[in-house]
Structure 1
Amino acid sequence: MLQFYCLVLLVSSFYISPAICQNAYVVELSSKEALTHFNAQYNTRYTYDSDLLRGVSVQFGSTDEASIALAHPDIKNIWPITHKSRPTSTSTINININNNNNNNDNYPLLQTFDKDAPAMLTKANNAYRTLGQNGSGIKIGVIDSGIDYTHPALGGCFGKGCKVAYGYDLVGDDYNGRPESIKESHDPIDSCTSNSTSATGHGTFVSGIIAADDKKYASYYCQNWTGVAPGATLGMWRVFGCNYGGVSNDILIKAMEMAYNDGMDIINISLGDNGGWEEDALSVVADRLVDLGVHVVAASGNIGTSGIFLTAAPATGRNVISVASTSNNYSPAFMINIESPNSKFSIPYRTFVNQPVSFNQTFRITAASTKFNPTFDACRRKDLPRHIYGGIVLIRQGGCSSLLKVSNARHAGAQVVLFYTGTTGTTNFEVLKEATLPVAFINLSDGKQVFDAISHENSRLFFHRSYAQFTKLMVALPADKSSVDQIASFSSLGPTNELQLKPELTAVGGNVFSTMPIYKNGYGFMSGTSMSAPFVAGSVALLLNGLEKRPSPGEAKTLLMNFANPTQPPIANLAQYEDSPIRQGAGLVNVVQAIEGYRTFHVSPAKFSFNDTQHFNNHQVLTLHNHKSTPLKVKLSHSPSLTATGYDLTNPSSYVPTEPIGLSVSGQSSVASVSFEATTLTIPPNSSKSVKISLTPPSIFNPQSHVIYGGFFKVDSEDDQISATVPYIGMVGNMGSLPILQRTENSEPFPFPSIGNPNGTILQRHSLGHYDVTPGSTNLPFILVRLLTGTAIVQLQVVQVDYDDAKNDKVIGDIPMETGSSGINTRVWLQRNTLQLTESSTAYHSWQWNGVYLPKPDATISGHNDPDVKPKLVEPGVYRIRVRALNVFGNRQNTSDWDTWTSPNLKLHRFSHLLPSLILS
């Protein structure tokens, strides 16, 4: 049996090759007959046979077999099978405190110091109470890591009549990327254990955000804690195992088809990567779901500090709802009990891991200094008192490195460091991953209270008489005002490479409280856009419940965008401007406003792109729809946003992305100016009116800067005090002129573009490289490329060198899309590289060439190997590799639309492997 596998491989210890699936494709077919043919002739993994997709995922035994098969006349589309990373959260906390009154229960319960803490931390979940609708009758499918439906908040059972009524396990616990490891099941339970290497409880957590309803928990601790749509019915399609960090895209497509066939109204997809393009296979299939009437909600991704154009697929689908994150307006904290000779009290503390300090004992507590708030507290080891040995030491943050202070405390024998910060509000914490002791943080005023309590006439002789105990009792603290309703730093940014606005909506994604599997202690916190997407999915369910006529996916997205609340900008002194739509979309979802607003009016379209300068669409039309039986008077206005700078403006010709982006405004010339055909309108009852909008881009920016401007068109109802907004974006400069290939001699870890040798060195510009292309050789060249901008295709051409006259150099063919021993490393619809490796991006691309080529120029220009051209091995000789990357909006037939680089000379040999390796010159 042929092996079908999709693994992350290292083709060299020096050059990283991204996820690969060798000779494997998802093939869309135009007829049932072709489907039967493929199933009979080839090693098919999955068959897709629905309105969504008719085709197969197929493993071919060789490139030759693939070339023959893919020449079938009934093939409509071909997508390489690629590996998708498992979703991660930016922070996780699991809570396991059993209550003595429930010792007989077989599940853990959260016991909080403040009974209202869970409700405060999930305050946004309560829209259904206002609406009197809870999502009942709506089916919401989740494609994720499985679900622990034994959790009381998730119904306790699976199947007909249960909260979790639909689903399937496509992979099993032991899935490791290989087909023989798959053990499918009709039961989608997350049955991993606490010692599983990759299990995070992600699917259970997401499901709880959508529809948790733990009446037992609620009745004991707080007033009815639930998810966003507690009456909804859930389905789970499990696509991740317990000890493996990814899944192939053909499995995800199969899960999407199964959810569609089971009649899901809404599908939540809190995963994705390879961002920037709506043409990605997952985005294409997700868009088709929307066309078939399914509301698809997807997370935008968690690499917000890496700059623009990085919204993950499938959130890049044009009709998919892409969701960004804000932080929670409350932060989880825990309590520390202090007892001194003269006082006894409790105060909240926080940790950078968002978990309580795990010691279950009382410690002596000592201050590091006899004075409160000294500048250089604990900066020198010799200044620490002996009494801190074996206990907790109170230290002021600042003056020197916090890690140095922790190290000094450890050497003095302390067990825990309790920092007091310089803030008086909710405690901020410092991330100290390399700390050698447990570390907790309290604010300045609480630090003063502790210091005063444990001091006695400033004499160290009495410090040992004070004690402290860290508890796991959780409280909810108001978030710092400077971060309330702001986009979280981790939230990935749009727009797409084709300048479509992404994300479209925002929801709470930081410090979210929800259900965890029982093996993860039942409840906990996570952060990420994975948490924001299910909040919007639940909101869509409430919207479907709350309107007399169920809206289509497009109508639902429009309403939620119309009546969202724009987020606060991150720059306090520019609060009069909105945050950029490429960070927030239309803003924070507000389903109550959407339902109430729709009773009066709505606006279409939901968003605008004015494109770039080259393709500038100056005139747009906004249509206002009056749903009342009386005339509607409205006023139109413009609210510009901060301008986003995605490239280093001090050196715009380098086009190195700014990570993170810059946000600025410097007067009216740095934002767009807008004129409306009319600023006031009266719309007849149950009618619509359109108004023309003209926009002038900001004039201050050089087109080379490629800044992204934006803002909101605001529509205010004069009589009903209801407002709607429509976000827009545009670019100063020509998107198609952005270079694709970075060209630099001093970049890290390599100069780009370049040819890498197997020993990790780089072939110098004017040198001659020697390589052995005998089948099985490892002495092969690597093509190293960093993409500054996303590209639809990277073409690798083989150029035969004429030493006598360079003018006679000629392209003899293309390197196949399967680049030799590295297997298939897809070169189509590539997102730009980031400067650092992240969970969903790479810092560069590496393609190894084994000397095989397709002997026809432009044999891969379509993005696939020409099926009529048989691959062959080059003859010994001197060659160059020409790298061509298509510019955005480029025409593949136009040479000037390609960004091109040609390598130094490569001398290719064929040697017996019994001979010593050739020394590279």
Structure 2
Amino acid sequence: MVRLGLATTLLAAASFAQAAHHKAPKVVPGAYIVEYEDSHAASILNSIKGDATIRKDIRHELFKGASFQFKDLDKAEDLAGKIAAMSGVKAMYPVRRYSVPEHTVHYTGSSVQEVVAKRDTAKDTFTPHLMTQVNKFRDSGITGKGIKVAVIDTGIDYLHPALGGCFGAGCLVSYGADLVGDDFNGSNTPVPDPDPMDCQGHGTHVSGIVASKTNNPYGIIGAASDVTLGAYRVFGCDGDVGNDILIEAYLKAYDDGSDIITASIGGASGWPEDSWAAVVSRIVEKGVPCLVSAGNSGDEGIFYASTAANGKRVTAVGSVDNIIAPALLSEGTYSVAGSSASAFGFTAGTPSAWANVSLPVWSVNFDTTDAANGCEAFPDNTPDLSKYITLIRRGSCTFVQKAQNAAAKGAKYIIFYNNAAGSTKVDISAVAGIQGSAMVTSETGAAWIKALQAGSEVIVNMADPETAPKNLSNFPNPNTAGFLSTYTSWGPTYEIDVKPQISAPGGMILSTYPRALGSYAVLSGTSMACPLAAATWALVMQKRGTKDPRVLENLFSATAHPNLFNDGTTTYPMLAPVAQQGAGLIQAWDAANANALLSISSISFNDTANIKPLQSFEVTNTGKKAVTYQLGHTSAATAYTFADANTIDPADFPNELVANKATLVITPAKLTLNPGQKKTVTVLAIPPKGLDAKRLPVYSGYITLNGTDSTGYSLPYQGVVGSMKAVTVLDKQYSYLSQSSDAALAPVAAGTVFTLPPAGKANETQYANTVYPTVVLTLAMGSAEVRADVVNAKGKTIGQVLTFPAYWNPRGTFEWNWDGALSDGSYAPAGTYKITLRALKIYGNSRKPQDWETQTTESFSIKYAKKNKREFTA
């Protein structure tokens, strides 16, 4: 299995422990966040200032602390340990860096977009709105007016005509700030300013989903177009951001009076206790709903919750795919047998030198069902294809193979026509001689083939895709319409908290984009689902007149629609697990008009070893009539964490699903509530039978309440068969000693000798080529604490390796070099050592030796280079 490269002081390009396939939060070497008692602030900060630069000094009612960067990395851990031990220090955390959220850019607009007249907005037909009932609010005149929504992201192109065209009082984007500056990349010093202009694109797309206006070429409209937006820019034009800046952004958005805070940022965690998640949880406790995207690591399988979405009371939002596939296609024209020109749409590929190309079309055959079209060498009587645009059907072999066959006959320009709905981008840059590539729809391709077959000449006039007008085409989504996006990250947390809470359309979403990047774009990601959810929160706030985060989440959870499981191609006759979809797809109008209010949004029965089988919740009738509810439950698919009983790595998506279900005893079975009346429902859970507990099956489902007023509500639940504590955490096969000179990070032989720089000299240029011992540690499952102890030849532990212990770790691989420094600031003497790696079991007690898993490396020796004369006399 491919493992995630975790937050480390060293990240290799590749590794024997297998390279990461997506970005992960990284630790900033020598940087920490300290949370302290306010009365001890002065003494703690004074102790820091001499040895470190203060990154952020945060004096806030919800978080009193600071982040700082030690000047001398060789002494960082020793100094950090001393600060952590000071009176008044509540907690110490590493500064972690998070990248711009992963998302897929399917299509972008053109630099020559022109604003057209507003469409008739009497009816909202935007499909993500139809899917979530947002259209019913607009039809009723409810558009989020008076609600302030803060967007923490890459900023907003507020000069975009669909986003108000201005920034400040009276504008759509009326408040916020740039916390970092254009040149910030995550590792340099931020230079804040008051202007949150977006230079990346992500934040502008997110903001359009919330609140874009209809003065745009495609008639799109934000779900809550009359809210007030706050833009908190936390990314420069490139790079990532530290969690200390994210904490600052959240607190600033809170102080500025935001009613809702949304952020589509995160990274692997699974632990609600990390610093960023903890602060966001406190904001929710103060009455401000915080919605965070669940993450886009669905391929990692179950137990891959992201922070800060995994925080307690934070609403994590998963993604479902749009019921259509919108496409922004570049416009070209064609003529048949000298007729007047007709327009068509194309998606430019790579390469894309299409400017002023006007050539006749040639096709290898006229069979529009030929899956192998272009897969074989072209016939000997093929004309010189440099004088044509070669038309090839998409099919069974690769685009590159088809292009190579065409290039062998002189082809410079190739257009593929699709074998399914819509079109997509192709990359045939590896084929020499090709100057332009593109794809057209199956319908366009068929029309050209029909004309060619009739003996007519087809002339295609292409255009530069950078400047060509873009047409919006909506294609059917045949496989995944309305189902969970395969990329959406799965929960639960390692403590079996339900994550995500809810799902919203995030796959193939058309929204605004920075003017410099095309003005509009179709993107996919939980990044797109989260702002739509935040907008629906605003609509329900306005409709119901409540801003209570708990009430809102409970309403949305109770009225959401769970869906069947779909693996991207096939739909199965069982509900998708709660760990993938939470309560299901948002039904905002139902939430706004619900007369039954549940006191919770989900139930976790925990694992078998720590089962809480008897739980309860309250139901309140907020309506004006008495209602009787029939209670029952519907099971979802049970997901096995591991592929078999001998595997310690969670299986990749899709996990094996089985129909084994829990038995729930719900009391009472029928419930009558008069207006304003509240009653308690108890639930006794009996976990499913016939499952292999060693494979850690996660079961789930929905408690249902069907009313005599024709309303229906549901409450998601989940639990685990087996013991989280019994699960293997430390992957010993991929935890060993390597060396920094080996890009593959293969294990070194026992007895390897390393010559290290003199103590404290590792950063000097003269030692740049030093080969260090590299410790590789892999977690098969998350661990709340990881340690690395240095053991001498006599078996005595002499200290802990620099940068450890590490807390709240996701599953994946740690890699770091060791220059001999110990966590107490001293250096290990020259000699022979082993390193004992320890990972705390899930639900383990750090004071109990049996709750740790350990692995000891092969023995190795270190010695130190001699100091030169200049160093002795300096």
TM-score (norm 2): 0.87
Letter in 2 for 1:647: F
Structure 1: unaligned runs, 5 residues or longer: 1-6, 100-107, 193-199, 457-461, 745-751, 803-808, 819-825, 834-843, 855-869, 916-921
User: Partner letter of residue 686 of structure 1?
Assistant: G
Matching residue of 2:835: 881
Give the counterpart letter for 1:157 in structure 2.
C
Asked if residue 142 in structure 1 is aligned to residue 151 in structure 2, the reply is: yes
Paired position in structure 2 for 1:34: 41
2:65 counterpart residue number: 55
Q: Which residue in 2 is equivalent to 1:811?
A: 797
Shift of residue 638, structure 1, vs aligned partner: 1.7
Q: Does the alignment pair 1:314 with 2:308?
A: yes
2: distance between equivalents of 1:269 and 1:643?
A: 30
**Contact 1:642-1:663 within 8 A present in 2 as well:** no
Distance 1:421 1:237, change over 3 A: closer
Inter-partner Cα distance in structure 2 for 1:98 and 1:32: 59
Report what 1:78 is aligned to.
92
For the residue of structure 1 that corresponds to 2:487, the secondary structure is coil
Going from structure 1 to structure 2, the CA distance change for 1:34 and 1:372 (only over 3 Å counts) comes to closer
2:481 partner amino acid: V
Distance 1:848 1:592 in 2: 55
Distance 1:678 1:10, change over 3 A: closer
- The CA deviation at 1:686 is 1.2
CA contact (8 A) 2:501 2:581 kept: yes
**Deviation readout 1:519-571 (Å, 9 max, x if unpaired):** 223222221111111111111111110104x1411111111111112133216
Q: CA deviation at 1:227?
A: 0.7
The alignment status of 1:241 with 2:236, answered yes or no, reads: yes
1:300 corresponds to 2:285? no
Partner of 2:765: none
Aligned to 2:735, which of 737, 747, 753?
Answer: 753
Task: Tell me what 2:808 maps to.
Answer: 829
The 1:379–1:344 alpha-carbon spacing in structure 2 relative to 1, beyond 3 Å, is farther
1:88 aligns with 2:83: no
| 1:238-637 correspondence to structure 2 within 5 Å | 238-242=233-237, 244-333=238-327, 334=329, 337-341=333-337, 351=347, 359=355, 361-383=357-379, 385-386=382-383, 388-423=385-420, 426-427=421-422, 429=424, 432=427, 436=431, 439-441=437-439, 447-456=445-454, 462=455, 464-467=457-460, 472-548=469-545, 550-570=546-566, 575-597=572-594, 600-637=595-632
SS at match of 1:96: coil
3-state SS in 2 of match to 1:660: coil
Classify 1:115/1:73 alpha carbon distance in 2 versus 1 (closer, same or farther; 3 Å): closer
SS at match of 1:621: strand
- What is the distance in 2 between the residues matched to 1:209 and 1:631? 39
Query: Are 2:197 and 1:189 equivalent residues in the alignment?
Result: yes
Change beyond 3 A, Cα 1:763–1:344 = closer
Q: 1:510 to 1:391 in 2, by over 3 A?
A: farther
The CA distance in 2 between the partners of 1:352 and 1:714, in whole Å, is 49
Amino acid at match of 1:631: A
* Contact 2:181 2:192 (8 Å CA) reproduced: yes
Please state if 1:769 is matched with 2:758: no
Aligned residue number for residue 845 of structure 1: 814
Contact 2:832 2:861 in 1 (8 A): yes
Measured in 2, the distance between the counterparts of 1:121 and 1:726 equals 26
**178, 185, 197: which one aligns with 1:176:** 185
Given that 1:97 and 1:110 are in contact with CA atoms closer than 8 Å, whether structure 2 keeps it comes out as no
- Determine if contact 1:120/1:330 at 8 Å carries over to the other structure: no
Say if 2:393 and 2:416, in contact at 8 Å, map to a contact too: yes
1:697 deviates by 2.3
The alignment partner of 2:607 has SS state of coil
**1:574 offset after TM fit, Å?**
6.2
Residue equivalent to 1:657: 650
Q: Which moved more, 1:872-881 or 1:328-337?
A: 328-337
- Summarize the Cα distance change of 1:371–1:255 in structure 2 as closer, same or farther, 3 Å threshold: closer
Letter in structure 1 aligned against 2:211: A
Query: In 2, Cα distance between the equivalents of 1:624 and 1:21?
Result: 47
| Change over 3 Å in CA distance of 1:256–1:623 after alignment to 2 | same
> Which residue pairs with 1:206 in the alignment?
206
Residues 11 and 690 from structure 1, CA distance in 2 versus in 1: closer, same or farther, beyond 3 angstroms?
closer
CA distance in 1, matches of 2:117, 2:774: 57
- More moved, 689-698 vs 529-538: 689-698
Contact map agreement 1:94 1:521 (CA 8 A) in 2: yes
**Counterpart of 2:527 in 1: which secondary structure?**
helix
Tell me which amino acid in the other structure corresponds to 2:210: I
Letter in 2 for 1:284: A
Which letter maps to 2:810?
A: Q
Q: Is the 8 A contact 1:111 1:473 kept in 2?
A: no
Task: Report how far residue 420 of structure 1 moved.
Answer: 4.2
Give the CA deviation at 1:128: 3.0
Q: 1:35 to 1:356 in 2, by over 3 A?
A: farther
User: Against the structure 1 CA distance between its residues 621 and 360, is the aligned structure 2 distance closer, same or farther, given a 3 Å change threshold?
Assistant: farther
- Supply the RMSD in Å over aligned alpha carbons: 3.3
Partner SS for 1:659: coil
| Residues 421 and 112 (structure 1), Cα distance of their counterparts in 2 relative to 1, 3 Å cut | farther
Question: 1:797 is matched with which residue?
Answer: 789
| Distance in 1, Cα, partners of 2:115 & 2:353 | 19
State the aligned residue count.
825
Change (3 A) 1:350 1:602: farther
Question: What per-residue deviation string (whole Å, max 9, x for no partner) do you get for residues 858-877 of structure 1?
Answer: xxxxxxxxxxxx43222232
Closer, same or farther in 2 for the Cα pair 1:654/1:110, shift >3 Å?
A: farther
User: 2:672 maps to what in 1?
Assistant: 682
- State the Cα distance separating 1:76 from its structure 2 match: 1.1
Partner amino acid for 1:759? S
- Work out the CA distance in 2 between the residues paired with 1:691 and 1:98: 60
Give the 3 Å change call, closer, same or farther, for CA 910–11 of structure 1 in structure 2.
farther
Report the alpha carbon displacement of residue 656 of structure 1 after superposing the two structures with TM: 2.4
Aligned to 2:703: 713
8 Å CA contact 1:381, 1:412 repeated in 2: no
Q: Distance in 1 between matches of 2:117 and 2:416?
A: 26
Contact 1:240 1:247 survives alignment (8 Å):
yes
Work out the CA distance in 2 between the residues paired with 1:324 and 1:51.
Answer: 31
Q: Distance in 1 between matches of 2:365 and 2:680?
A: 70
Contact 2:262 2:530 in 1 (8 A): yes
Name the CA distance, whole Å, in 1 between partners of 2:739 and 2:749: 15
Q: TM-score, normalised by structure 1?
A: 0.83
Residues 422 and 441 in structure 2, CA contact (< 8 A), matched pair in contact too: yes
Note the C-alpha offset of 1:482.
Answer: 2.6
One-letter code aligned to 1:325 = S
Give the deviation of 1:375 after TM superposition. 4.9
Q: Distance in 1 between matches of 2:579 and 2:538?
A: 25
CA contact (8 A) 1:634 1:680 kept: yes
- With over 3 angstroms needed to count, the CA separation of the structure-2 counterparts of 1:878 and 1:732, relative to structure 1, is same
Q: Residue type of the partner of 1:681?
A: L
Instruction: Please give the alpha-carbon distance, in whole angstroms, between the structure 2 residues aligned to 1:629 and 1:828.
Output: 51
Contact 1:113 1:473 in 2 (8 A): no
